[in-house]
Structure 1
Amino acid sequence: MAKKLVLKVTAGADAPERCSQAFTVAAVAVASGVEVSLWLTGESAWFALPGRAAGFALPHAAPLPELLDGVLADGRVTLCTQCAARRGIEEKDVLPGVRIAGAQVFVSEALGDDVQALVY
């Protein structure tokens, strides 16, 4: 079993099931003691902003704000630099605990020892 899980979620409200799956896997992994790094890219970039996760709803799925809070509590959440720039999101805009970083950091994390990387 990998000691670290790196997830890249590209989907947001445009693909709710895929989005919810990524956040669910990340939150369950954190709760299971796995080191988690969740990357918000594409349309999921909006969930780095306060209140945006509350507007997401998917029947029979855990509430996105709860999943995100679980990951933020014991994992790492990163907003893609380019995705943030394309949406006019700056460091001052994001939730506490969310960092903005680029591809070099993602590659470094994803290629580390005992890492499993997933893209949603």
Structure 2
Amino acid sequence: MARSLVVKVTAGADAPERCAQAFTVAATAAAAGVDVSLWLTGESTWFALPGRAQEFDLPHSAPLPELLHVILATGKVTACTQCAARRDIDQGDVIPGVRIAGAAVFVEEAMAEGAQALVY
């Protein structure tokens, strides 16, 4: 059975190292062929919008747009329903390939057989 990785990132520009670490781990796993699901929650929800990842800068870190591209190419990216609603973001606003979903979907993915969940 193949393993999967569910990464929930709760930080954005407010905690750039934690944010970049989550994206880096998710993209590295995706590039290695792991089934990856990245969840954008809290301040990271902003990265579901076009152009927002380009605004993120952290010295000595891979560019967030490149990491996001790798994850979107092979995995799933989800913005938290409540987090998106608090920021007036709806499905029509997000980058193509990003979905908006809630806790039930996160729990389903995190509890799937062979899944590993990480929260940053």
CA shift at 1:23, angstroms? 0.2
Which residue does 2:14 correspond to in 1? 14
> Structure 1: how far apart are the matches of 2:26 and 2:6?
9
Structure 2 gaps, min length 5? none
Deviations 1:63-92 (A, max 9, x none): 000000000000000000000000000100
Which residue does 2:30 correspond to in 1? 30
Counterpart mapping for 1:40-59 below 5 A: 40-59=40-59
> Structure 1: how far apart are the matches of 2:52 and 2:40?
13
The two structures have a TM-score, normalised by structure 2, of 0.98
AA at the equivalent of 2:106: F
AA at the equivalent of 2:25: V
AA at the equivalent of 1:97: G
> Structure 2: how far apart are the matches of 1:80 and 1:48?
10
Structure 1 gaps, min length 5? none
Which residue does 2:101 correspond to in 1? 101
Q: What SS class does the counterpart of residue 61 from structure 1 fall into?
A: coil
CA shift at 1:111, angstroms? 0.3
Is 1:92 matched up with 2:92? yes
Q: When the two structures are aligned, how many residues end up with a matched partner?
A: 120
Which residue does 1:112 correspond to in 2? 112
Counterpart mapping for 1:47-86 below 5 A: 47-86=47-86
Deviations 1:93-114 (A, max 9, x none): 0000000000000000000000
Matched residues, percent identical? Answer: 74
> Structure 1: how far apart are the matches of 2:72 and 2:65?
10
Q: What SS class does the counterpart of residue 5 from structure 2 fall into?
A: strand
- Which structure 1 residue ranges, 4+ long, deviate > 2 Å from structure 2? none
Root-mean-square deviation (CA), in Å? 1.1
